[in-house]
Amino acid sequence: MADEKIVIGTETKYPLNGILTIPNKINGLVPSVILVHGSGPSDMDEKNGDNRPFKDIADGLTEKGIAVLRYDKRTFVYGKEMKNDTGLSVKEETIEDAILAADFLRQDSRIDPNKIFIIGHSMGGMLAPRIDAEGGNFAGIIIMAGSPRKLEEIMMSQNDEVLNSLNPFLKLIAKKQIASLSSKFDNIYNLNDEEAKSTKVLGKYVRAYYLKEMGEHPSANYLQELEKPVFILQGEKDFQATIEKDFEGYKQLLGDNQNVTYKLYPNLNHLFMPSVYGKILKAKKEYKVPQHVDQQVINDIAEWILSV
């Protein structure tokens, strides 16, 4: 395979470095995917601790004859300039660049323009149906460890899980902090856009507008209208997305739609790597253990793409 250095968004204010991984043997036009990161600033490999899931996926799929485009996330490169933008939403953070990446692939004469797919991981999976609807126009959508819920609902669930694992004294302190956060979240949709832009909900920089704008474009709405193929994957030991609320949530939302395929992987975590500690409080420790994306996951994604 060949790793070609590329730049996404050369004509924009935020050009991003990336890599297009192309199979060595090309017979005709090549199917391709773009990789879309989870939440927070992230490099093109989606480096988390000592793991690089996007590099694993890119290398693995390219060996199967599928080209893969990955790039640095906008907030990873331009975070300092963007952190004071009160109107920042997932549109500027993620969606615009994913659409530019799809356009980039369509201009490559080696790529089959009718076989461009999106793989969204975590929050990228939540946004993938919206990216498709707003200009990605993909042949199919792959959601890895995503959720049909709103972001603030997921955050509250994760807080509750942390709360349940604390000792009684810490639990008392944390309960008050979580209750305060919950009341801020409850009020988000009562604010107009300008009020939301001036209301901080998390730390110094996360404003209500970020959550409000995303919540007003729920993943569920896009998914219910989709007729194109969708592949939803999750690890059984994922402590960031849950089987009950997220994986099963997709099933409740989409039922047994013929265009949707589901797969749950035993003993894999949020990065689709073998579970180490399996607890949200030990997330940093878990991701410090160098591992690789499970080969079966890569095989299944490749098989699904090549069958569409």
Catalytic positions, written as ranges: 122, 238, 270
Determine the Cα–Cα distance for residues 240 and 86; give it in Å rounded to an integer: 27
Give the burial class of 293: count Cβ atoms within 10 A of its Cβ; 0-12 exposed, 13-18 middle, 19 or more buried. buried
Residues 6+ apart with CB under 8 A from 186: none
The answer to whether 144 touches 231, Cβ cutoff 8 Å, is: no
Give the burial class of 104: count Cβ atoms within 10 A of its Cβ; 0-12 exposed, 13-18 middle, 19 or more buried. buried
- Number of helices (H), then strands (E), belonging to the chain: the values are 13, 10
Determine the Cα–Cα distance for residues 303 and 308; give it in Å rounded to an integer: 9
DSSP 8-state assignment for residue 28: S
Q: Which residue has the tokens 């739609």?
A: 257
Return the H-helix or E-strand segment holding 222.
helix 219-225
Determine the Cα–Cα distance for residues 280 and 106; give it in Å rounded to an integer: 40
The answer to whether 40 touches 48, Cβ cutoff 8 Å, is: no
The answer to whether 279 touches 239, Cβ cutoff 8 Å, is: yes
The answer to whether 5 touches 88, Cβ cutoff 8 Å, is: no
Cα–Cα distance list, 238 to 47, 51, 241, 271, 289 (Å): 17, 16, 6, 8, 16
- State which amino acid sits at residue 307: S
Structure token digits, residue 134:
């707003």
The answer to whether 180 touches 200, Cβ cutoff 8 Å, is: no
